[in-house]
Amino acid sequence: MSEEGMAARLIVALDVPTRKDAKRVVHTLDGVVEFFKVGLELFTAEGPALIEELTSEGREVFLDLKLHDIPNTVAGAVRSATRLGVRLLTLHTLGGSEMMRSSVGAGAEEADRLGVNPVDLLGVTVLTSQRGGTFIGDRDLGEAVLTLATEARDSGLPGVVASVGECRAIKKTCGARFLVATPGIRPVGAASEDQKRVATPGGAVEAGSNFVVVGRPVLKADDPAGAARSILEEMQAFGPPTESDGCAGDGRSGR
């Protein structure tokens, strides 16, 4: 896979407070990065208008809102995100199977009505800021992640968000085409900061990650575009995972 192909799998997190800051990052990375994550801080500050602006410019958007509410409310949010044209949207797997199933159905119905691709819903398993050990009751964290990922798959979600450390096990259990987006990515030598379960970009690709999410190592770099290029080069050096490694094509979940 070429570096250009890898660019479709690198997502830079716009973890900044304002539209002005976000647009500065996007323009700085123009021609290097085409996929951007908008999280709670930025979306709360700027709302849907920023998403519409990014998508109108041809950017891919990962809307990371980690939705967790009653099924009808989350389904409505998924319909709204579909109308915004986002590529990926997160919801919490702990919201339960009914919430996840209704969200999948709502997204598919709205996409069909609009004649567009449905948004890929990714279930959040365990945040990468949480340490290993126990998580729910006496279950090991890794076991909990795998249980939640399996429930997400069985509820119709095309993928999950998890750390690189759980990626191989998720792919083995849920199937090679099941998407895994991996945050907590730090190039060699970078500080882990508040992330506890981290990995390098190359390690993420090697483990089968479909989408590699990077924030501060790019945003805080003296040369953000150069930092992003270095990450892409590292991803490319490890090459595209094979089908058996858990990544098929660009991970478009059967579109």
- % of the chain beyond a pLDDT of 90: 76
pLDDT reported for residue 130: 57
**Can you tell me the distance from the alpha carbon of 153 to that of 133, in angstroms, rounded to the nearest whole number?**
24
* Amino acid found at 244: S
From the candidates 20, 23, 37, 66, which is the catalytic residue? Answer: 66
208 touches 167 (CB < 8 A): yes
**Positive or negative: CA dihedral 214, 251, 232, 238:** positive
pLDDT reported for residue 18: 98
pLDDT in tens, 162-218: 999 999 999 999 999 999 999 989 886 554 454 445 689 999 999 999 999 999 999
Question: What does the DSSP 8-state code read for residue 134?
Answer: B
Range 121-146 average pLDDT = 73
Range 48-72 average pLDDT = 98
- Lookup: tokens for 162: 């998890």
Q: What is the mean pLDDT of the chain?
A: 88
Range 111-119 average pLDDT = 97
Question: What does the DSSP 8-state code read for residue 31?
Answer: T
- Lookup: tokens for 19: 């539209």
Q: What 3-state DSSP class applies to 189? A: coil
130 touches 94 (CB < 8 A): no
pLDDT reported for residue 196: 46
Distance of CA 252 to the CA centre of its chain: 13
pLDDT reported for residue 132: 52
- Higher-pLDDT residue of 134 and 99 is 99
Q: Which residue has the tokens 């567009």?
A: 116
pLDDT reported for residue 126: 84
Distance of CA 42 to the CA centre of its chain: 16
| Superfamily of segment(s) 3-245 | Aldolase class I (3.20.20.70)
pLDDT in tens, 17-59: 999 999 999 999 999 999 999 999 999 999 999 999 999 999 9
Distance set, CA 133 to CA 26, 143, 144 (Å): 38, 10, 10
- Higher-pLDDT residue of 191 and 240 is 240
pLDDT reported for residue 157: 98
- Lookup: tokens for 241: 């995972």
Distance of CA 162 to the CA centre of its chain: 9
pLDDT reported for residue 37: 98
Domain parsing of the chain, residue ranges: 3-245
- Higher-pLDDT residue of 200 and 127 is 200
pLDDT reported for residue 251: 41
CA angle 53, 56, 58 (to 5 degrees): 115
Burial 36-74 (b: 16+ CB within 10 A, else e): bbbbeebbeebeeebbeebeeeebbbbbbbbbbeebeeb
pLDDT reported for residue 184: 86
**Can you tell me the distance from the alpha carbon of 79 to that of 239, in angstroms, rounded to the nearest whole number?**
36
Range 125-145 average pLDDT = 68
**Cβ-Cβ contacts under 8 Å for 190 (sequence gap 6 or more):** 216, 217
For the question of residue 220 being annotated catalytic, the response is: no
Range 207-230 average pLDDT = 96
- Please determine, for residue 133, whether its predicted confidence score (pLDDT) is greater than 80: no
